[in-house]
């Protein structure tokens, strides 16, 4: 099975890892991939959390490509700068789009 994330690529954590004092968005480099059976998530070893000689093992769902994380943060930053009224309008529009995606057949 092909790794979801390539070796030596930069990734960001999708959530906090309090046991390692790491937070969502902390950035690391993938140094190893562990293929698992289809019923389990693949695993990865990460290094480079500004902590020398520390390697952390995570599952595929605990990381995302750095470019995706930066895109999410840019969108959230724009959202936070909107007025409350505009935030509510945007949330309603997003709900509309999500509902439309559920009912529209994929070509």
Count CB-CB contacts under 10 A for residue 29: 15
What is the pTM assigned to this prediction?
A: 0.80
- Residue 49 confidence class, pLDDT cut points 50, 70, 90: confident
* Domains of the chain by residue range: 1-102
pLDDT at residue number 106: 72
Q: What is the pLDDT of residues 26-46, one digit of tens each?
A: 999 999 999 998 889 999 999
pLDDT at residue number 62: 97
User: b vs e for 37-67, b when ≥16 Cβ sit within 10 Å of the residue's Cβ?
Assistant: eeeeebebbbebbeeeeeebebebebbbebe
| Residue 107: strand, helix, or coil | coil
Q: Rounded CA gap, 93 and 80, in Å?
A: 16
pLDDT for residue 2 is more than 70: no
CB 11 within 8 A of CB 27: yes
pLDDT at residue number 105: 79
Say which residue, 107 or 78, is predicted with more confidence.
78
Class of domain 1-102: mainly beta
CB 56 within 8 A of CB 20: yes
């Amino acid at each position: 099975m092909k790794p979801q994330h390539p070796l030596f690529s930069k990734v960001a954590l999708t959530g906090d890892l309090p046991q390692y004092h790491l937070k969502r968005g902390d950035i690391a480099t993938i140094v190893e991939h562990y293929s698992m059976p289809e019923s389990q998530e693949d695993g990865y070893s990460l290094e480079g959390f500004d902590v020398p000689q520390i390697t952390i093992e995570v599952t595929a769902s605990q990381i995302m490509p750095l470019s995706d994380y930066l895109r999410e943060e840019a969108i959230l930053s724009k959202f936070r700068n909107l007025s409350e009224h505009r935030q509510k309008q945007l949330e309603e529009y997003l709900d509309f789009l999500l509902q439309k995606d559920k009912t529209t057949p994929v070509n």
